[in-house]
């Protein structure tokens, strides 16, 4: 494995000690304000006096860039916590650098790594890059912190940040895709959320709620979100897998996959009871989907738990994703959104970034993030946060992602560095946008994915 870490354990520990020492402030440049000149007629100061004067000399805080791709209310809430952190102490200043979405953050980070000029903190993770040494292991920083408390972090989220047994990424928040519905649309159709706890029942409900005029749909019964993730969640509920247990065979052309994706194709293109928004810049397609529901053009949609900050729950309600008849509850992915520290950042910058991550992950702040965004808090103690307890009494939708995560699936960790996931993206576009039969789309995707997996296993 290529190692690009520039720091030793000693340097990292020294940087943390410098950041947390009482009364001291680190500086990114290492320069300090000039000391007063001592008149030659006076005796030199004692060692203790010199030490005291030096300790009181103000130093500039360490300024770090934090890259993330969040828009709308998510971006506003991130800015709120950054401002709160910057005002809470004098050692570190976080400078936000906003990209269009998660994917753009990854692309810009790749260019930054190639140039050698990297940010200290990124809301992004990449297992393959961790293997190659592009990210710094956080184990030493965690061990040196008296306040981090790994045992309080939700285990499945913390585990997702490990690569080869080392902690390379920290969970900032958890997410899972849930269902949002218009209360008035269900009421008009004489339906209740508990009436469609299976995909088969949801399709019937969507058909009942769909409005057509002259063969053209003017009100859609449901809107899945663009991409393979929604459809993959449904596959997992049937017991489908991406890879065989030995990791050598791609299984995305199995009956669980083909039958499920063909149903989505039928609902979208043949029955026209569902619609997909695709393309656009950044999260444009996502917000168009949300707008359809909020503006009364669709009865509901499948989206992120993080959408809750953009929704009016006087109008909409939330429920878990359905399962399948005769199978049981759904098993959608429950995933941690990770942050990491590029290994080319200096020891001082790495320690400053960890201080910021630790602040964001505190019980109070992860509870704040959950209440204001709908994402899942990463610390178990956040559930006892007084503000969270009170909020959940009048906002029960906040508990839906937590309930779903309890029986959710772990995210797929692509061993090919994204090649299998890319093949699924192409297949999803072929089904959702081009109306290609699922069997044909998934067969082509399987061939591409298997070829990449075989190359890896040689």
Query: pLDDT per residue over 77-126, tens digit each?
Result: 999 999 999 999 999 999 999 998 888 999 999 999 999 999 999 999 99
Looking at the predicted structure, is the pLDDT value of residue 38 above 60?
no
Given this model, what pLDDT does residue 58 score? 64
Which CATH fold topology does 176-333+411-457 show?
A: D-Maltodextrin-Binding Protein; domain 2 (3.40.190)
Task: Give the whole-angstrom CA distance, residue 157 versus residue 141.
Answer: 18
Residue bearing tokens 């809430």:
77
List of residues 6+ apart from 201 with CB closer than 8 A: 195, 322, 325
State mean pLDDT over 417-436.
97
Task: Give the whole-angstrom CA distance, residue 283 versus residue 41.
Answer: 69
Would you say 174 and 378 are in contact if contact means Cβ atoms under 8 Å apart? Answer: yes
Would you say 166 and 137 are in contact if contact means Cβ atoms under 8 Å apart? Answer: yes
Looking at the predicted structure, is the pLDDT value of residue 39 above 90?
no
| Domain 9-33+58-175+336-394 indexed as CATH 2.40.128.20 | no
Residues of the chain with CATH 3.40.190.10: 9-33+58-175+336-394, 176-333+411-457
Element (H, E) at 361: none
State mean pLDDT over 189-212.
95
Question: In the structure, what pLDDT confidence band is assigned to residue 173 with cuts at 50, 70 and 90?
Answer: very high
State mean pLDDT over 269-281.
95
Would you say 172 and 358 are in contact if contact means Cβ atoms under 8 Å apart? Answer: no
Q: Which long-range contacts does 202-205 make (Cβ < 8 Å, 24+ apart)? A: 202/322, 203/263, 203/267, 203/271, 203/273
Given this model, what pLDDT does residue 77 score? 95
Highest mean pLDDT among 43-57, 69-83, 398-412: 69-83
Looking at the predicted structure, is the pLDDT value of residue 14 above 70?
no
pTM exceeds 0.95: no
Mean pLDDT of the chain: 87
Given this model, what pLDDT does residue 374 score? 85
Residue bearing tokens 């007063």:
36
């Amino acid at each position: 494995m290529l190692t690009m870490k520039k720091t030793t354990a000693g340097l990292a520990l020294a940087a943390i000690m410098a950041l947390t020492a009482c009364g001291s402030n680190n500086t990114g440049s290492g320069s300090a304000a000039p000391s007063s000149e001592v008149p030659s007629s006076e005796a030199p100061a004692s060692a203790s006096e010199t030490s005291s004067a030096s300790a009181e000399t103000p130093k500039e805080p360490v300024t770090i860039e934090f890259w993330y791709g969040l828009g709308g209310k998510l971006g506003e809430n991130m800015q709120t916590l950054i401002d709160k952190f910057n005002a809470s102490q004098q050692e570190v200043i976080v400078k936000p650098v906003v990209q269009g979405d998660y994917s753009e953050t990854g692309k810009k980070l790749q260019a930054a790594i190639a140039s050698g000029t990297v940010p200290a903190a990124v809301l992004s993770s990449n297992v393959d890059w961790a293997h190659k040494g592009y990210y710094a292991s956080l184990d030493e920083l965690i061990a040196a912190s008296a306040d981090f408390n790994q045992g309080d972090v939700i285990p499945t989220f913390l585990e997702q940040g490990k690569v080869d047994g080392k902690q390379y990424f920290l969970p900032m928040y958890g997410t899972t895709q849930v269902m949002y519905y218009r209360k008035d649309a269900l009421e008009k159709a004489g339906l209740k959320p508990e009436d469609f706890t299976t995909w088969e029942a949801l399709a019937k409900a969507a058909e009942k709620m769909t409005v057509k005029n002259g063969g053209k749909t003017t009100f859609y019964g449901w809107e899945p979100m663009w991409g393979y993730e929604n459809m993959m969640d449904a596959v997992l509920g049937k017991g489908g897998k991406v890879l065989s247990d030995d990791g050598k065979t791609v299984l995305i052309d199995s009956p669980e996959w083909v039958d499920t994706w063909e149903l989505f194709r039928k609902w979208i293109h043949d029955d026209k009871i569902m619609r997909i928004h695709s393309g656009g810049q950044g999260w444009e397609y996502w917000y168009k989907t949300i707008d359809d529901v909020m503006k009364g053009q669709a009865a509901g949609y499948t989206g992120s738990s993080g959408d809750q900050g953009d929704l009016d729950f006087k109008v909409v309600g939330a429920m878990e994703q359905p399962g399948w008849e005769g199978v049981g509850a759904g098993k959608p992915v429950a995933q941690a959104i990770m942050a990491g520290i590029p290994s080319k950042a200096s020891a001082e910058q790495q320690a400053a970034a960890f201080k910021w991550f630790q602040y964001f992950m505190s019980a109070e702040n992860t509870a704040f993030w959950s209440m204001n965004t709908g994402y899942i808090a990463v610390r178990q103690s956040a559930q006892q946060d007084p503000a969270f307890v009170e909020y959940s009494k009048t906002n029960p939708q906040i508990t839906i992602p937590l309930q779903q995560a309890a029986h959710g699936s772990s995210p797929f960790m692509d061993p090919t560095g994204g090649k299998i996931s890319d093949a699924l993206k192409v297949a999803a576009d072929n089904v959702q946008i081009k109306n290609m039969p699922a069997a044909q789309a998934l067969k082509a995707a399987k061939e591409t994915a298997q070829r990449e997996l075989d190359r890896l296993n040689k």
